[in-house]
Every structure is written in structure tokens, then in C-alpha cells.
């Protein structure tokens, strides 16, 4: 597999405090990306950001403690990312949310909604 150089790119990793999100965050940092680590658990986000800093630099990752099942939290998390890094190029959805957190009517959105 060819490894891409991601220097200058900014990634958002939802569920970044968990196993898969953590691994993806660290892999992105190793390839030069800056990463906004989203998770609801502050202690795990902080731990991943600390690990990332050991691989990159002290500004290669930021902790974003938000609940991605809530629209207002998503908006705030994106603002935090843009404020810190001025852009967002990559999105990795590794948040482990269950079907119970899907809002009523979700499946009834018209095709245009998904475009």
C-alpha cells in the first residue's frame, strides 16, 4: 500500500478517543495531517492528543469534546476545528453510535437530502 503524505491536510476523526478512532488519528498524524479528535469522553480524547503530539508536534491534534449525535454539538465542533486549523479536508466517522440515537424521520429523508 502506498503511503500518502498528508502534510497540510486537516482531518476530523469522530470517535477519536476509541480504539479504531485512536488508531486512525495516530496514522493520520504519522503521515503529516493535523487532526481534530472528536469524542464525548474528555479523558480519552486528551490521551489520544497526547499520543499524537509524541508522533508529530504539540499542535498536530486538538481535543474536541462533543456529542456527534447532537446537531448543535456538531456545529460547535466544526467551528472549533476551523478556528484551530482554518480548514477541514478529511472526515473519518469512527463514532460508535447505536441506532437508538438516530432521530425520528431519519430514514424518510428524500434522496435530495443525501446529495
CATH code for the domain of 57: 3.40.50.720
Q: Tell whether 78 is covered by a domain.
A: yes
pLDDT at 102: 57
Tens-digit pLDDT string for the chain (115 aa): 567 899 999 999 999 998 999 999 999 999 999 999 999 999 999 999 999 999 988 999 999 999 988 889 989 999 999 999 999 999 999 887 655 555 666 667 677 766 6
Q: What is the pLDDT of residue 53?
A: 96
For residue 74, the enclosing domain spans 10-114
Contact residues for 26 (Cβ-Cβ < 8 A; gap 6+) = 48, 51, 52, 55
Residue 20 falls inside a structural domain: yes
Q: Is residue 2 part of a domain?
A: no
Check residue 56 and give its pLDDT.
Answer: 81
In a domain, 3, yes or no: no
Residue 4 lies in a domain: no
Alpha-carbon span 9 to 39, nearest angstrom: 20
| Count of structural domains within the chain | 1
Amino acid at each position: 500500500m502506498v503511503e500518502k503524505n498528508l502534510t497540510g491536510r486537516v482531518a476530523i476523526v469522530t470517535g477519536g478517543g476509541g480504539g479504531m478512532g485512536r488508531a486512525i488519528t495516530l496514522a493520520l498524524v504519522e503521515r503529516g495531517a493535523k487532526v481534530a479528535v472528536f469524542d464525548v469522553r474528555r479523558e480519552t480524547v486528551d490521551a489520544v492528543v497526547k499520543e499524537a503530539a509524541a508522533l508529530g508536534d504539540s499542535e498536530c491534534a486538538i481535543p474536541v469534546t462533543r456529542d456527534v449525535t447532537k446537531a448543535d454539538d456538531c456545529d460547535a465542533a466544526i467551528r472549533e476545528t476551523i478556528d484551530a486549523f482554518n480548514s477541514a479536508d478529511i472526515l473519518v466517522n469512527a463514532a460508535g453510535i447505536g441506532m437508538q440515537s438516530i432521530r425520528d424521520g431519519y430514514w424518510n429523508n428524500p434522496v435530495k437530502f443525501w446529495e
